[in-house]
Amino acid sequence: MTANPARGQMAEMDAVRCHGPRDYRLERVPVPEPGPGEILLRSEAVGICGSDLKCYGGAPMFWGDETRTGYCQPPVTPGHEFVGRVAALDDEARRRHGVDVGERVAVEQIVPCESCAYCKAGQYWLCAPHDIFGFRQRTPGAMGEFMLVPPAARVHAFPAGLPPSHAALAEPLSCSLHAVDRGEVGADDVVVVAGAGPIGLGMVLGARRRQPRALVAIDLDPHRRSVAEQCGADVVLEPGDDVETTVLELTDGLGCDVYLDATGHPAGVTQGLQLLRKRGRFVEYGVFGQPVTTDWTVIGDGKELDIRGAHLGPGQWPTAIEMLSTGEVPADAIVTHEYPLDRFDEAFETAGTPGKAIKVSILPPGGQQ
C-alpha cells in the first residue's frame, strides 16, 4: 500500500453533496481512504452534464414517481465527466489499470458490477445495477477535492498537457462517438445532427472523421451553430421550415440517411422522423424531461426506419482522448465557463441558462494549479 499523501496533510476536504432536487451543498467531508485495488484520485476538472442538470432540477428519472424509483441515491457527491491525478494506489490497482501516482487519468462514467448478464456478455455499459459516478452510493463523483476509483472502474491514462477542463471532455466525446457508431455513418451518407451542445458537437466531430457526403448541424443558438461549423459541419441551420427544404435539396428529394438526435427535446424527435429518407437510421442520445408524442406510423408504414438508442461511450475512450490530445477538438470553443468548487451553484446556474454556455466545467483545487 502506497502511503496516502492526502491523509498526511489533511483529514477533511470540500465536496459538493447532493441531498435532493435543488439541494446541493458544499460540505467538509473526510478524505476517502482507498481500500484494496482502489485509486485515490485528486479531481482536476468535472464537467456539468445535461443529466446533472436534470437531476438538479428534480427530473423523475432521478427522483422517482409513481412508476419508478429514482436513479439518484442521495446524499452523494455529483460528477461523472472528469479527469484527475492519481494520488495514491496499491499494487493491485497499479497492475489492474497500468497507472501510477501523479499520472492524469480519465475514468469511464459507469463502474460495471462485473457479474450481471450484460457485464458477462461484455456489454458493460448496459450493466444492470448501472452505477454511474456522481449518482450512486457505490460511486461518489468528482465534485470534491478527492474521490475513490473502485477496482472495476475503467481507467484510461491521459497524456499531460491539456487544460483539465478540456481533458474532461473525453466523457461526452466518447458518448458522441458511440452515437456515430450506432448510426453506422459512412461516406455515402447525408448526416443530420440535431442539437449542437457538447454531445451534438462531438457527433459532428465524430461524423466528420467518416467523411460523409454532407454533414448538417441544427441548433437554435447562433454561437453553437458557429462552433458546429468549426467542428466540421458543412451546413448549419436554425430549426424551422427551411431545414426540410435544405435537406431535401442535399439528397435529391429523398431525405437524410442518418439523423443523430442530441436535443433532448420532443421537437428533435419529430424533426428527425420528418427529415429521414426511407430506411434511414435514427439514433437517439437525448435525455428527455418530458414524454414525446408522435405518429409512429412513419416508422413502419411510412419509411421502414431503423430507430436506435445509444448510451455512454463504450470502446470510444482511446479515440476521444487521442482527438483531444491532438487538437482535433476545438475545446476552447466548447468549454465556455470554468468555476472553482466553492462556486458550484453559479456553475449549475450558468449551465442551466439557455443560450449562455456550451460546456461548464468545475475546477476543484487539484485543477487550479
**Residue 127 touches Zn ion, criterion: CB under 5 A:** yes
257 vs 348, beta carbon nearer Zn ion: 348
Residue nearest Zn ion by beta-carbon distance: 49
Q: What is the dihedral of CA 20, 334, 179, 309, to 10 degrees?
A: 30
87 vs 169, beta carbon nearer Zn ion: 169
Closest among 364, 260, 358, 266 to 15, alpha carbons compared:
364
**Residue 201 touches Zn ion, criterion: CB under 5 A:** no
**Residue 116 touches Zn ion, criterion: CB under 5 A:** yes
Q: Report whether the peptide linkage leading into residue 30 is cis, meaning its omega lies within 30 degrees of zero.
A: no
**Three cell numbers at 81?**
465527466
73 vs 270, beta carbon nearer Zn ion: 73
Within 268-327, the residues that bind Zn ion by CB under 5 A are: none
101 vs 116, beta carbon nearer Zn ion: 116
User: Least distance from C-beta 197 to Zn ion, angstroms?
Assistant: 11
User: Least distance from C-beta 124 to Zn ion, angstroms?
Assistant: 7
Choosing from 113, 254, 307, 333, the residue that interacts with Zn ion (CB under 5 A) is 113
63 vs 243, beta carbon nearer Zn ion: 63
Choosing from 86, 88, 119, 250, the residue that interacts with Zn ion (CB under 5 A) is 119
**Residue 220 touches Zn ion, criterion: CB under 5 A:** no
**Residue 49 touches Zn ion, criterion: CB under 5 A:** yes
User: Least distance from C-beta 82 to Zn ion, angstroms?
Assistant: 10
Number of residues this chain uses to bind Zn ion (CB under 5 A): 7
Q: Hey, how many other C-beta atoms are within 10 angstroms of the C-beta on 172?
A: 25
Candidates 115-123, 250-258, 317-325, 353-361 — which segment interacts with Zn ion by CB under 5 A? 115-123
By the 8 A CB rule, do 273 and 247 touch? no
User: How far is Cα 330 from Cα 357, in angstroms, rounded to an integer?
Assistant: 15
Pairing of strands 146-149, 39-47: antiparallel
User: Least distance from C-beta 172 to Zn ion, angstroms?
Assistant: 6
- Whole-angstrom CA distances from 266 to 284, 292, 320 are 11, 5, 28
Pairing of strands 256-261, 276-284: parallel
User: How far is Cα 269 from Cα 261, in angstroms, rounded to an integer?
Assistant: 7
User: Least distance from C-beta 243 to Zn ion, angstroms?
Assistant: 27
User: Least distance from C-beta 312 to Zn ion, angstroms?
Assistant: 9
Closest among 357, 332, 333 to 346, alpha carbons compared:
357
Candidates 94-102, 105-113, 150-158, 260-268 — which segment interacts with Zn ion by CB under 5 A? 105-113
**Three cell numbers at 325?**
490530445
The dihedrals phi and psi of 271, each to the nearest 5 degrees, come to: -60, -45
Pairing of strands 104-107, 81-89: antiparallel
54 vs 281, beta carbon nearer Zn ion: 54
User: Least distance from C-beta 302 to Zn ion, angstroms?
Assistant: 33
**In sequence order, what are the beta bridge partners of 236?**
217
By the 8 A CB rule, do 75 and 26 touch? no
275 vs 351, beta carbon nearer Zn ion: 351
User: Least distance from C-beta 361 to Zn ion, angstroms?
Assistant: 12
Within 64-93, the residues that bind Zn ion by CB under 5 A are: 81
User: Least distance from C-beta 123 to Zn ion, angstroms?
Assistant: 9
Q: What is the dihedral of CA 270, 271, 275, 278, to 10 degrees?
A: -20
User: Site residues (CB under 5 A) for Zn ion?
Assistant: 49, 81, 112-113, 116, 119, 127
